[in-house]
Amino acid sequence: MADNRQVAPGSDLAKPLDEAAIREFSSKVRGELIRPRDDGYDEARTVFYGGFDRRPELIVRVKDATDISHVIALARESGLELAVRSGGHSVAGHSTTDGGVVLDLSEMKNLELDVEGHTAWAQTGLTAGEYTAAAAAHGLATGCGDTGSVGIGGITLGGGVGYLVRKHGLTIDDLISAEIVTADGELLRVDSESHPDLFWAIRGGGGNFGVATRFQFRLHEVDEIVGGMLILPATPEVIASFVAEAEAAPEELSTIANVMVAPPMPFVPAEVHGQLIIMAMVVYAGEVDEGERVVAPLRALAEPIVDMLKPMPYPEIYPPEEDDFHPTAVARTMFIDTIDRDVSQSILEHLRASDAPMRVAQIRVLGGAMARVPAEATAFAHRSSRIMMNVAAFYESTEERAAREAWVSHFAAALRQGEGGAYVGFLGEEGEERVREAYPESIWDRLAEIKRRYDPTNLFRLNQNIPPAIEQ
């Protein structure tokens, strides 16, 4: 770099990298550099969600913590915006940037499993699916969410709500330690003994505090599960009863119920296409015989339209994915307490009122192990929330977006109960007020103070941002 000054993030002094700066930088890093003129640039700049057609100045596929340190220095000294990417599934498009630098962790996929000790060190370029498959080869698992292609980097830093949430808690509840490169380029090992403040903050505080290179997770014995997809007709009674059964069930059972328009998929009978259904994904992580008994009341709620519940190896719950699927969607996340018959009726009315080809109200019943962790133990504090609710409408053209946004806002407002709250992992680009909804005030203040200590210039700002507290 020609100029070693520290440039305030976002300042007008930020400038494109010149050839000399790039040459000097490339002599220091082991990872591949990809620039706008390079082959593979378009693929390398693509993230999961469509609609983020951004053109980074530089993408660096880092190989190790030293590379990460160099990328951080480059961003700090140039003032260019820094996007940190693990699996690229940011709902807000935060893992890409126009004119900035992308720190791409996708080649850091090392995994060290301690099968005897039931722990694993996982580099953050691994996806949830890759991690789950490797651990499952030994009958072990850490809960990671519902989609295999999501990166363990982003999901862990947000909290991680998945198919083992009621049995084993959030992904962060199995986080034993982490390695983080902070804004000054230093690699820190963080756990309950070493930098406990930072360890607390990264369990729900997102990418605000540094770049996580690897995580040490606890693993649980999860071998054969009873689960899969169950499709039921969506009536107010069936929705409310499904939620009641899911809440009353033993905590081995976690469910994700999508109330949606039946898609024209081959396994859905043609006469149901276009009708409102509950497409539920179900996991019972315990003895198979008991699992069959526990899922029976769900099957009995109505004549199932599709019943694929069966004993299966745990990783089969992650369906195969298409590489070139890049949906565009508007979504809103919240926590609510109750889904009774009236709320269910309102869900159905709102879904009927939209003509978006794909629209959904997703219901995740919480509780169990997740709720036993004290609210102040991690930056994710919604421990007593009973239900996570996400509503979304997909769209194909930008002209449609405003209508989809209006519908989603209206729907979310109608569902709101009490304080609301938000899960940071599902937040879009919704503004500071919504980021604050992800954290109770005392948690927010504590996060801002930790941010001030570890990232005083807000270098890591392309995220659900918690600005550094102002020094008193």
Residue 254 sits in the site that holds ligand FAD (CB under 6 A): no
Radius of gyration, CA atoms only, the chain: 22
Q: Does 367 bind ligand FAD (CB under 6 A)?
A: no
First to last CA, the chain: 34
Q: Measured between alpha carbons, how far is 101 from 90 in angstroms, rounded to an integer?
A: 16
Closest among 373, 66, 366 to 200, alpha carbons compared: 373
Stretch that binds ligand FAD, among 14-22, 80-88, 257-265, 307-315 (CB under 6 A): 80-88
List the one residue from 69, 97, 124, 254 that touches ligand FAD (CB under 6 A): 124
Candidates 207, 227, 367, 368; binder of ligand FAD (CB under 6 A) is 207
Q: Which residue from 9, 31, 87, 228 is in contact with ligand FAD, where contact means CB under 6 A?
A: 87
Looking at the Cβ atoms of 88 and 291, the one nearer to ligand FAD is 88
Site for ligand FAD in 10-49 (CB under 6 A): 48
Please spell the DSSP secondary structure of 391-423, one letter per residue. EEEE-SSHHHHHHHHHHHHHHHHHH--TT----
Q: Is 84 among the residues that bind ligand FAD (CB under 6 A)?
A: yes
Shortest Å, Cβ 388 to ligand FAD: 9
SS3 221: strand
Please pick, from the candidates 45, 70, 76, 89, the single residue that binds ligand FAD as defined by CB under 6 A: 89
Question: Counting contacts by CB under 6 A, is residue 143 touching ligand FAD?
Answer: no
Single out the residue of 7, 56, 69, 90 in contact with ligand FAD (rule: CB under 6 A): 90
Measured CA distances, 62 to 70, 108, 131, 181, 193 (Å): 10, 7, 19, 13, 28
Q: Name the minimum Å distance from CB 370 to ligand FAD.
A: 11
> Exactly one of 74, 201, 211, 277 binds ligand FAD (CB under 6 A); which one?
211
Q: Is 126 in the site for ligand FAD (CB under 6 A)?
A: no
Indicate the helix (H) or strand (E) that contains 436: helix 432-437
Candidates 32-40, 79-87, 217-225, 280-288; binding stretch for ligand FAD (CB under 6 A):
79-87
Stretch that binds ligand FAD, among 134-142, 204-212, 306-314, 392-400 (CB under 6 A): 204-212
Query: CB 340 → ligand FAD: shortest distance, Å?
Result: 25
Residue of closest CB approach to ligand FAD: 154
- 154: contact with ligand FAD by CB under 6 A: yes
> Segment 92-121, which members bind ligand FAD (CB under 6 A)?
94-95, 105
The runs of H, that is alpha helices, within 122-272 are: 128-136, 152-158, 165-168, 196-202, 236-248
SS (H, E, C) 367-389: CCHHHHCCHHHCCCCCCCCCEEE
Rounded CA-CA distance 412/350 in Å is: 10
Which residue lies nearer to ligand FAD by CB, 129 or 162? 162
CB 100 within 8 A of CB 35: no
Q: Least Å distance between CB 297 and ligand FAD?
A: 24
Question: What element of type H or E holds 33?
Answer: strand 32-34
Of the candidates 182, 188, 215, the one whose C-alpha atom is nearest the C-alpha of residue 113 is: 215
Instruction: Report the alpha-carbon distance of residue 139 to residue 220 in Å, rounded.
Output: 8
**Shortest Å, Cβ 231 to ligand FAD:** 19
Q: Output the smallest distance, CB 52 to ligand FAD, in A.
A: 10
Tell me the residue length of the chain: 472
Applying CB under 6 A, the residues found at the interface with ligand FAD are: 48, 84-91, 94-95, 105, 124, 145-147, 150-151, 153-155, 157-162, 206-207, 211-212, 425-426, 463
